[in-house]
Amino acid sequence: EKGGHPDFMIKEILEQPRVVRDTLVGRLTGTGELDIDELGLTYEELDLIDRVYVIACGTSYHAGLIANNLIEAWARIPCEVEAASEFRYRNPIITPTTLVVAVSQSGETADTLAAIRDARIKGAKVFGITNVVGSPVARESDGVIYTKANKEIAVASTKSFIGQVVSLTLLALLLAQVKGKMNTRQVKLLFHELGDTAEQIQWIFDTQQEAIHEAALACKDAHSALFVGRGMGAAISYEGALKLKEISYLHAEAYAAGEMKHGPIALIDPGFPVIAVTTKSPVYDKTVSNLKECEARGAKIIAVATEGDEDIKQIADHVIYIPPVRDAFSPITATVPLQLLAREVALMRGCDVDQPRNLAKSVTVE
């Protein structure tokens, strides 16, 4: 069942290039229209959408952080992302032109489900991103995109996260197209680049295992670790920190790098691990300058950087490379080494990576 792999987690991590391909297969028609499983809304209805909430829990929430960036950048619709357990207990502004996007691997998380039921009663349109065909989230949404991760067994979500990010990227492209912010040519170009991330993930598997192993050795005995980045790098950091804490029980926190000097930098003492997402992006220099402040206080810096970036070696003790990629797509590749890092650290600490303590794969009670 594990296909010769020592655990399901690694099997599922290694499947991610396939998940990217399968989630995209057949999605772009010859005329450049995006083909969604169940659109459930007419283009006219979509064009009227003037507010988007992405609601989800845990790792799915982190996929939502990425969607938030893309929907605002590309479709220019105000978008908020919120934990379903928060959203359902406040009184968000919902009108018939509000789109609620629910992201749930299992499609049955209690808070997410309750949130979409409530949102529909209040008149919102609901779009589901889920891995389980016919799940409650799929059934109770107007439109659905299925992630093609296939069954995920390890409790910590890896491949379904990648499927979610790819699906949400499609949704953002669709909204941009319907809103007239992108033409067919632009959509096609981005669609094909999105597909290229499959090979880029494979490149990480083929070339970065040793670097990831060294980085894991460098943080396995720490009591705590900080993950930092800006923009997409911040979203990736949140997911990296969650993965590390849930399977290795090493305390980890993530911060937008610009927030470091407002508190967290007090934690840094010599040897403290800081895992930084410093891929090439418009905020690269800003992140590097935050890292210099950490370095000056003795932090042990592990950087996830873009292949070809030699300068980063001046401040980072360990560098894990990803191939050059458009910032919008960097979460798809840059998250992968952090999944592998979390798994290696967990194994070094003697943890069961597939069945972390206190956690269940599907959270159907509140």
Residues that bind ligand F6R (CB under 6 A): 57-60, 104-106, 109, 112, 156-157, 246, 362-363
What span, in angstroms and rounded, lies between the C-alpha atoms of 77 and 68?
10
Closest to ligand F6R by CB, 104 or 287: 104
Q: What are phi and psi of 192, to 5 degrees?
A: -70, -40
Q: What are phi and psi of 241, to 5 degrees?
A: -70, -40
Torsion of CA 201, 24, 81, 15, to 10 degrees: -40
CA torsion sign for 281, 179, 161, 359 is positive
Minimum distance between the CB of residue 121 and ligand F6R, rounded to whole angstroms? Answer: 21
In DSSP terms, 275 is beta-bridged to 227, 302
What span, in angstroms and rounded, lies between the C-alpha atoms of 15 and 12?
5
Closest to ligand F6R by CB, 222 or 363: 363
Decide if 103 contacts 83 (C-beta within 8 A). no
Whole-angstrom Cα Rg for the chain: 20
Minimum distance between the CB of residue 203 and ligand F6R, rounded to whole angstroms? Answer: 24
- First-to-last alpha carbon distance for the chain, in angstroms, is 31
Write out the H or E segment, with its range, that includes residue 144. Answer: strand 143-146
What span, in angstroms and rounded, lies between the C-alpha atoms of 204 and 341?
12
Closest to ligand F6R by CB, 316 or 338: 338
Minimum distance between the CB of residue 248 and ligand F6R, rounded to whole angstroms? Answer: 12
Q: Please confirm, yes or no, whether 361 is among the known catalytic residues.
A: yes
Nearest residue to ligand F6R, scored by beta-carbon proximity: 58
Active-site residue, selected from the candidate residues 122, 179, 286, 361: 361
Closest to ligand F6R by CB, 109 or 167: 109
Minimum distance between the CB of residue 130 and ligand F6R, rounded to whole angstroms? Answer: 8
* Helices 330-348, 159-178: inter-axial angle, 10-degree rounding: 170
Closest to ligand F6R by CB, 74 or 127: 127
Active site residues: 361
